[in-house]
């Protein structure tokens, strides 16, 4: 399985599409870790929408993409970690494709 780490800042519309494509396109139950970098109020609606399907880490202030990414990686529970920006869109069976190429 894969832990997908998504650092995000001020793009809730992109984040919503990204998470939806991850969840709907996966074949396996992967972990999705969203790290909100100081913009909880802007992203709260998306976090609420997926609250039972993702792990959300929220910074009260902006620390930057590198720190957000590092915290997301350290919080991941799988050995395979994929770091993506919040504006990525995943194709169908994306996880099987990645794991197949990894093996």
Cα–Cα distance, 60 to 27 (Å, whole number)? 34
Cβ 87 vs Cβ 13: under 8 Å: no
The 10s digit of each residue's pLDDT in 38-81 is: 988 999 999 999 999 999 999 999 999 999 999 999 999 999 99
Task: Retrieve residue 47's tokens.
Answer: 């976090």
Confidence of residue 103 (pLDDT cuts 50, 70, 90): low
Confidence of residue 102 (pLDDT cuts 50, 70, 90): confident
* pTM recorded for the entire structure: 0.94
């Amino acid at each position: 399985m894969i832990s997908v780490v998504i650092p995000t800042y001020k793009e809730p519309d992109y984040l919503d599409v990204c998470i939806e494509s991850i969840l709907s396109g996966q074949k396996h139950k992967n972990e999705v870790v969203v790290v909100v970098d100081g913009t909880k109020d802007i992203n709260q609606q998306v976090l609420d929408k997926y609250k039972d399907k993702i792990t959300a880490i929220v910074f009260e202030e902006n620390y930057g993409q590198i720190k957000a990414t590092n915290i997301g990686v350290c919080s991941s529970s799988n050995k395979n970690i994929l770091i993506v920006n919040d504006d990525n869109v995943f194709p169908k069976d994306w996880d099987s494709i990645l794991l197949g190429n990894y093996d």
